[in-house]
Amino acid sequence: MSNIVTAGPAAAGRTQDQPPVRRQRGYPRVRAILAPLPWIGPAIVLIGLVVIWPIVVMFQTSFQHITADGINIGSAGWRNFSGVLNNANLPGILLRTVIWVAVVVGATMFISLGLAQLFNQRFPGRTVVRWALIAPWAASVMMTALIFRWMLDPNNGAINILLHQLGILHGFNSNQSAWLANPDSAMAAMMVVAVFVSVPFTTYVLLAGLQTIPGELYEAARVDGASRWETYRRITLPLLRPAFFIGLVINLMNVFNSFPIIWEMTQGGPGYETSTSTIFMYNLKAINVGQSAAMSIVNFAIVLVIVFAFLRMNRRTLQEAR
């Protein structure tokens, strides 16, 4: 019997998830509950210790009154929350966070859609060019942020040299060349960096999506005399939707939680003028841990929405796995 099954690779991939029936001894119900534990127990413990428990600690801390020296001097009630919510900087920070996420994720999805389309075409040297995209994806984001900070150096950054040659920049060591000193131009520069590090991964996700679209569909559209734009709008875009939404949700999470770019380029300053809610939460940690925990809870609530969106997108995958 087993010889027949192993003989042909044709059987591979089809038959699975058929656990052999085993005789159960002792207390079958207890055994059934305990049997998976040696296999999945370590994973549950690890997730519990590093993911679940910090959430509990975060909630506890958000109601504690902790001094600047880190000493817990009792309950703070809701004072940490009211302290954060009444912070005069908060409205600006939240607005900036919304703009940051919307612009970076929007630009990333738009550019990646174009690039995925481009890299899906046949041309000589395609593999090499695709490799070029790996660098910003694989390298540490903090290093990429530091390179951009160096290239924007007011005295002799490479980008400033280029802008000077193009006649856009009029003088070095000027207000104009100090991109990161002015909150508006600093935000714009950091958004460019955030898009730069997000595009490669997103392009690869969309490229994977494009490759699942069967070529016969395009063939059929061509036979029917559909125009290029019509084909794109009626076939490519609808069939690319799963990949697009997964890329969108993953980017929302990454960009909302983005820390190294702002940390390395402006540290959220001057004041809080280039802080997003993540940077604000982190900077609060050094001043007031209780308020920082309260801000974390606010951020966590936002993150939960994104997690649920991600789980919904993956509903089909989960059902298949079940």
Residue numbers 212-241 binding another protein by CB under 8 A: 212
Residues 21-80 that bind another protein (CB under 8 A): 32-33, 35-36, 38-40, 42-44, 46-47, 49-51, 53-58, 60-61, 70
* Least distance from another protein to the Cβ atom of residue 236, Å: 14
Closest separation in Å from C-beta 117 to another protein = 10
> Which position among 260, 269, 273, 283 is part of the footprint of another protein (CB under 8 A)?
260
Query: In whole angstroms, how close is the CB of 120 to another protein at the nearest point?
Result: 10
Distance CA 35, CA 313 (A): 31
Q: Does 17 bind another protein (CB under 8 A)?
A: yes
Instruction: Give, in order, the Cα–Cα distances in Å from 87 to each of 25, 82, 96, 172, 299.
Output: 63, 8, 15, 37, 16
- Asked if the peptide bond before residue 19 counts as cis, ω within 30 degrees of 0, the response is no
Cβ atoms < 10 Å from Cβ of 217: 14
- Unique residue bearing structure tokens 């801390």: 61
Residue 298 CB, nearest approach to another protein (Å): 10
Interface residue with another protein, options 85, 161, 192, 217 (CB under 8 A): 161
**Residues 284, 266 contacting (CB under 8 angstroms):** no
Please name which of 86, 75, 88, 94 lies closest in space to residue 290, comparing C-alpha atoms.
75
Choose between 234 and 316: whose C-beta lies nearer to another protein.
316
Shortest distance (Å) from residue 102 CB to another protein:
19
Closest CA to 262 of 194, 174, 175: 194
By CB under 8 A, the residues from 167 to 186 that bind another protein are: 172
Counted residue by residue, the chain has a size of 322
CB 193 within 8 A of CB 259: no
CB atoms within 10 A of CB 249: 20
Looking at residues 281 to 320 of the shown chain, list those that interact with another protein (rule: CB under 8 A): 281-282, 285, 289, 292-293, 296, 299-300, 303, 306-307, 310-311, 313-314, 316-318
Residue 10 DSSP label: G
**What would the DSSP string read from start to end of 226-279?**
--HHHHIIIIIHHHHHHHHHHHHHHHHHHHHT--HHHHHHTTT-STTTT--HHH
Query: Can residue 14 be called a binding residue for another protein (CB under 8 A)?
Result: yes
Given 76, 96, 177, 264, the residue binding another protein (CB under 8 A)? 264
Site string for another protein, 86-125 (x = CB under 8 A): -----------------------------x--xx-xxxxx
In the complex with another protein, which residue's Cβ is closer, 22 or 88? 22
State which of residues 85, 107, 133, 163 lies at the interface with another protein (CB under 8 A): 133
Q: How many residues lie near another protein (CB under 8 A)?
A: 117
